[in-house]
RNA sequence: GCGGACGUGGCGAAAUUGGCAGACGCGCCAGACUUAGGAUCUGGUGCCGAAAGGCGUGCGGGUUCAAGUCCCUCCGUCCGCACCA
């Protein structure tokens, strides 16, 4: 149908008006369901590779389908990228905007323990419920591409990728002290320990030695930092990644210790002349090895035992330093030849550097605190600071430092390392806080690790053709106190044959962590049904990278780091075409309850999205979440503000009565200005994620239209197009009522004209000595002299300038005149 | 302790990045129409003041013709990390 068709055969406004009997209220319940069905039936948002168009891949973090259903926080992110996706579509891009479910995880398993309902059953129900809720909000997801990490078709490839990691030597088994949650009975990655407590249940985490599958993410540490510089990530995300990886450049130095070498890592080799003692972590190998040489063995053993019992939290919560001297032994400073005392103390960590330090109390606050307690010498080797008060950690010129004297920090460091290398007792060294990724979980509801253990052949990967290795059905989901996975009880499944020798072997009973499936899901979206490969080269080449990825700040250290690593590994193997998965990453703020607290079931302040959709409609809900405040900041829910947006949608609906054909195109300069201003503002603000002010711009425009007697059709059509990414159902409905038979979401995005958007007459503020005294109306870009004369002619100005001398007049074009007297 | 973000009406917030502070919305006040329903419409609304006018962006200072915006000191809030040598 063409534009002409819409007023067919009618020539008076009144007559035209009669053709649409508007209900008094905007009936969103019927309207929204109607359009959702049409979009679904017509597969409006389904995409395929189309080389005639530029592609755009918009991604949001897929949810864990919890039993509580969708949280009002989820749609904030989904709506934001839905708006971006819809706008890009209207701008001619081939847009991939997919959704799926990260469906392995602890809650489903805990629920199973409590109720006996199998995780597979509850997960399927929850996914169904989430899908219904998401569809009720009118997102433009391509549902044909939905993925589900707990389906065998999906985790087949997660397992396959694990095998690739194993074959490339990046997955290995190691007995290490892991973070153990005694309540969940599960090993946790460092990333899952928050302030010494289990991220999930809050119980205090203890250390426990266990054999675990590890992934050598540290091999990628440098690249994970360095490659950030070419990415369009918000600064806070980059900073968090960098801090988490924690690169420190320094040196390793060997100190003579008995007839052995005691190696330390330091970032300040320049302060080596100020070393007055050394400290080992209580777990350091030398303590055990040389125990019989120490004079105070009983005291040392008692200290080690005490330290072992302390959790990390206890160790760090108490920053008063404790320790024991290893009496009877000395170390030798390689720079000075001086003999120094050696201590053990739990302020030195076993897992970082070499587990031993050289202590420079004059220039390190921790060493300083320790030296004060144990009355050890404090020798300053840099000028500046006062060691009577505190350690001096700043820069200065070296003193008491032999050949380093007179050098500053940087020069001193270079020289000190150079000297150590020449004399064979040291070398430059880079250390990272990042540890290898603990990849085993003693749990049921996760991807089985496709490895078997044979007495003869050791750990063996299962054959690729046997993938997926399906998770067996069990009915008892409790791990035992030894921390063995529930899978250990499925003996039929556990006992198998060795792929190498054919003899008896046992399957790995630990499963993968939740982070595994989410490390590559964005790749699967490009080709979700493929059962030959995880995604075809063609699909990956066309769709990757993700152009814009939005998610929560809570995932920017863990998930983002893991998935970047995982992707880089696949890139190195030649399976994906790009070395980074996400070109742009943004983050949204949380939605809090009205009192500013987090929403939670226990607090009873949870807002249910279903109720909002039922009572106000999806469009109002979407608009409200965008209007609530700056997108990247936390915002509190408010029912009253929601009403304001509801009024707005009703107004848009009501305006239809005034749309009239004889005024098809706006002619007055004011009308044109209002329209083009709105186009430019909304367009720009969507790109910048300033959704709250984009909605404001729409409101301003609607207020303008409300004040018109009749609305030229084009002005209303532009409103609908600009509104359609935010409130797609309403826009679609009114578009259809205008007489169009094709969908508004397939129309092209309006072009704003900057010239028409600007006024020919500008209001210029007039100031005297920086204080506002009045305003004048001038033609746009009027020359300074005209503006000056007009300003001076103002009553208010004339009165004040007559009494004093004008020193200077500053004219800022189209903005302001400031008269200095 | 370290790192980051931030502090603007009664409230959520805007401010073209140095140029009329408070757009837009909530709430509130007044009026209209109605008085069966979170109603709708019109106008007003930073503070003090009857008015002229004055004062206003956490506090104090500075730069500038001009500061919410830039610089320095302090205070406060939130979020990360937390003995990483």
In which band, very low, low, confident or very high, does the pLDDT at A254 lie, cut at 50, 70 and 90? Answer: very high
Q: How far is A628 from A633, CA to CA, in rounded Å?
A: 10
Q: Which one is predicted more confidently, A316 or A398?
A: A398
Q: Which of residues 196-235 of A touch strand B (CB under 7 A)?
A: 235
Which residues in 639-678 of chain A line strand B, with CB less than 7 A from it? 640-641, 643-645, 647-648, 650-651
Residue A696 has pLDDT above 50, yes or no: yes
For range A701-710, the mean pLDDT:
91
Question: Rounded to the nearest 5 degrees, what angle is found at the Cα of A101, between the Cα atoms of A98 and A102?
Answer: 125
Q: Find the mean pLDDT for residues A695-708.
A: 94
pLDDT over 70, % of chain A: 95
Distances (CA, A) of A443 to A65, A110, A447, A703: 18, 10, 10, 58
State mean pLDDT over A423-428: 94
Whether A608 CB is under 7 Å from strand B? no
Q: Please, is A607 exposed, middle or buried when counting C-beta atoms within 10 Å of its C-beta (0-12, 13-18, 19+)?
A: middle
Choose from A322-331, A473-482, A704-713 the range with maximum mean pLDDT.
A322-331
DSSP state of A349: -
Over range A218-223, report the average pLDDT: 93
User: Residue A661: which pLDDT band, with cuts at 50, 70 and 90?
Assistant: low
The residue that leads in pLDDT, A635 or A542, is A542
**pLDDT on residue A2:** 35
Global pTM value: 0.91
pLDDT (0 to 100) of residue A11: 45
Residue A49 Cα to chain centre, angstroms: 28
A43-91 pLDDT tens trace = 999 999 999 999 999 999 999 999 989 999 999 999 999 999 999 999 9
The whole-number average pLDDT for the span A147-166 is: 97
A314-328, A352-366, A527-541: least confident range: A314-328
CA-to-CA dists, residue A44 to A138, A147, A464, angstroms: 12, 19, 38
Count CB neighbours of A43 within 10 A: 11
The answer to whether some atom of strand B lies closer than 7 Å to the beta carbon of A400 is no
Provide the ipTM: 0.94
pLDDT (mean) for A250-258: 94
- pLDDT at A499 exceeding the cut of 70: yes
Compare A802 and A419 and report the one with higher pLDDT. Answer: A419
**Which pair of tokens denotes residue A786?**
């005209």
Pairing relation of β-strands A548-552 and A55-60? parallel
Q: What DSSP designation does A204 have?
A: B
Residue A289: what pLDDT?
93
pLDDT score of A1: 30
Q: CB of A565 under 7 A from strand B?
A: no
A745, A44 contact by CB (below 8 A): yes
Residue nearest to nucleotide B15 (CA to C1'): A693
Q: Which nucleotide is nearest to A24 (CA to C1')?
A: B40
**pLDDT of res. A7:** 42
Please report which residue ranges of A344-455 form alpha helices under DSSP H.
365-374, 409-422
> What is the average pLDDT score of chain A?
89
Taking only the tens place, the pLDDT of each residue in A5-48 is: 344 444 444 454 454 555 667 889 999 999 999 999 999 999 99
Q: What is the DSSP-derived secondary structure letter of residue A599?
A: P
- Does nucleic acid strand B have an atom less than 7 angstroms from the CB of A431? yes
Residue A192 has pLDDT above 80, yes or no: no
Instruction: Give the per-residue pLDDT at A100.
Output: 97
* pLDDT > 90 in chain A, percent: 63
Whether the per-residue pLDDT at A177 is higher than 60: the answer is: yes
Q: What is the structure's pLDDT at A181?
A: 80
Strand nucleotide closest to residue A690 (CA to C1'): B14
- A773 neighbors A820 (Cβ within 8 angstroms): no
**What is residue A23's predicted lDDT score, i.e. its pLDDT?**
60
Summarize pLDDT for A440-458 with one digit per residue, the tens: 988 899 999 999 999 999 9
Q: What is the distance of C-alpha A256 from the center of its chain?
A: 46
State yes or no: pLDDT of A650 exceeds 80.
yes
Whole-angstrom distance, CA of residue A819 vs CA of residue A540? 63
Residues 36-65 of A with CB under 7 A from strand B: none
Q: Model confidence over A405-422: pLDDT tens digits? A: 999 888 999 999 999 999
With cut-offs at 50, 70 and 90, classify the pLDDT of residue A640.
confident
> What angle separates helix A152-167 from helix A558-572, to the nearest 10 degrees?
70
CB of A596 lies under 7 Å from some atom of strand B: no
* Cis status of the peptide bond prior to A270, with omega within 30 of 0: no
Contact between the CB of A615 and strand B at under 7 Å: yes
Sheet of A816-820: strand order equals A771-779, A761-768, A816-820, A808-812
User: What is the distance between the alpha carbons of residues A592 and A637, in angstroms, rounded to a whole number?
Assistant: 6
DSSP strands (E only) in A381-478: 426-432, 437-438, 451-454, 458-461
Pairing of strands A339-344, A356-359: unpaired
Compute chain A's Rg from CA coordinates: 34
Query: Tell me, what's the pLDDT at A4?
Result: 37
Nucleotides of B under 7 A from a protein CB: 3-5, 12-16, 19-21, 23-27, 38-42, 53-55, 65-67, 78-85
Over 70: is that where the pLDDT of A316 sits?
Answer: no
Q: Which of A372-386, A613-627, A629-643 has the highest mean pLDDT?
A: A613-627
A460: CB within 7 A of chain B nucleic strand = no
């Amino acid at each position: 149908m063409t534009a002409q068709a819409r007023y067919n055969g009618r020539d008076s406004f009144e007559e035209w008006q009669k053709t649409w009997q508007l209900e008094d209220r905007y009936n969103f319940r019927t309207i929204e369901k109607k359009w959702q069905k049409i979009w679904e039936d017509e597969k409006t948002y389904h995409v395929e590779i189309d080389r005639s168009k530029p592609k755009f891949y918009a991604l949001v973090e897929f949810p864990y389908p919890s039993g509580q259903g969708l949280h009002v926080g989820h749609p904030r992110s989904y709506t934001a990228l839905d708006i971006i996706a819809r706008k890009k579509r209207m701008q001619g891009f081939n847009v991939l905007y997919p959704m799926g479910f990260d469906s392995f995880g602890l809650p489903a398993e805990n629920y199973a323990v409590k109720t006996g309902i199998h995780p597979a059953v509850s997960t399927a129900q929850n996914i169904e419920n989430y899908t219904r809720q998401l569809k009720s909000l009118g997102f433009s997801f391509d549902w044909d591409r939905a993925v589900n990490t707990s389906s065998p078709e999906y985790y087949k490839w997660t397992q396959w990728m694990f095998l690739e990691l194993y074959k490339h030597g990046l997955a290995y088994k190691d007995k290490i002290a892991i973070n153990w949650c005694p309540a969940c009975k599960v090993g946790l990655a460092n990333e899952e320990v928050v302030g010494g407590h289990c991220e999930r249940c809050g119980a205090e985490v203890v250390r426990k030695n266990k054999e675990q599958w590890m992934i050598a993410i540290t091999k990628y540490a440098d690249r994970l930092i360095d490659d950030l510089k070419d990415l369009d990530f918000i600064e806070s995300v980059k900073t968090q990644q960098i801090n988490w990886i924690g690169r420190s450049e320094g040196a390793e130095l060997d100190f003579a210790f008995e007839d052995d070498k005691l190696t330390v890592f330091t970032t300040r080799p320049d302060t080596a002349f100020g070393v007055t003692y050394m400290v080992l972590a209580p777990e350091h190998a030398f303590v055990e090895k040389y125990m019989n040489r120490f004079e105070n063995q009983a005291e040392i053993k008692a200290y080690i035992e005490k330290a072992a019992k302390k959790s990390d939290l206890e160790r760090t919560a108490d920053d008063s330093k404790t320790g024991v001297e290893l009496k009877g032994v000395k170390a030798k400073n390689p720079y000075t030849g001086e003999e120094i005392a050696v201590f053990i103390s739990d302020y030195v960590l076993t897992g970082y550097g070499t587990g031993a330090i050289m202590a420079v109390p004059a220039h390190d606050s921790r060493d300083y605190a320790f030296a004060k307690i144990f009355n050890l010498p404090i020798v300053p080797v840099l000028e500046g600071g006062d060691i009577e008060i505190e350690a001096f950690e700043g820069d200065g010129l070296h003193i008491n430092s032999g050949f380093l004297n007179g050098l500053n920090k940087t020069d001193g460091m270079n020289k000190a390392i150079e000297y150590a290398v020449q004399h064979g007792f040291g070398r430059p060294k880079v250390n990272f806080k990042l540890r290898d990724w603990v990849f085993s979980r003693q749990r049921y509801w996760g991807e089985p690790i496709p490895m078997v253990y044979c007495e003869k052949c050791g750990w063996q990967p299962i054959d690729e053709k046997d993938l997926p290795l399906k998770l067996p059905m069990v009915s008892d989901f409790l791990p035992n106190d030894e921390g063995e996975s529930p899978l250990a009880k499925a003996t039929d499944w556990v006992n198998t044959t060795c792929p190498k020798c054919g003899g008896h072997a046992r399957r790995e009973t630990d499963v993968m962590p939740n982070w595994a499936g989410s490390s590559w899901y964005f790749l699967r979206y490009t080709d979700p049904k493929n059962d030959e490969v995880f995604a075809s080269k063609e699909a990956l080449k066309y769709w990757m990278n993700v152009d814009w990825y939005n998610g929560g700040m809570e995932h920017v250290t863990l998930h983002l780091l893991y998935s970047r690593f995982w992707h880089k590994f696949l890139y190195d193997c030649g399976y994906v075409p790009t070395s980074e998965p996400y070109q742009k990453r943004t983050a949204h703020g949380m939605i809090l309850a009205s009192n500013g607290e987090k929403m939670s079931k226990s607090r009873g302040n949870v807002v249910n999205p279903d109720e909002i959709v039922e009572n106000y409609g999806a469009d109002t809900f979407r608009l409200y979440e965008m209007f609530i405040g700056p997108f990247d900041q936390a915002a509190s829910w408010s029912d009253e503000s929601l009403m304001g947006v509801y009024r707005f949608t009703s107004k848009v609906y009501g305006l239809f009565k005034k749309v009239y054909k004889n005024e098809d195109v706006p002619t007055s300069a004011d009308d044109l200005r209002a329209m083009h201003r709105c186009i430019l503002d909304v367009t720009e603000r969507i790109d910048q994620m300033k959704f709250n002010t984009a909605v404001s711009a729409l409101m301003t425009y609607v207020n303008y239209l409300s004040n018109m007697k009749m609305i030229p059709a084009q002005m209303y059509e532009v409103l609908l197009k600009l509104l359609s990414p935010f409130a797609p159902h309403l826009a679609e409905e009114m578009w259809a009522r205008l007489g169009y038979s094709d969908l508004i979401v397939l129309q092209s995005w309006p072009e704003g004209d900057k010239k028409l958007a600007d006024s020919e007459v500008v209001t210029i503020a007039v100031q005297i000595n920086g204080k506002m005294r009045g305003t004048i109306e001038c033609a746009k870009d009027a020359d300074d002299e005209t503006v000056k004369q007009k300003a001076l002619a103002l009553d208010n100005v004339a009165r004040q300038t007559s009494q004093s001398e004008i020193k200077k007049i500053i004219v800022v074009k189209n903005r302001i005149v400031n008269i200095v007297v």
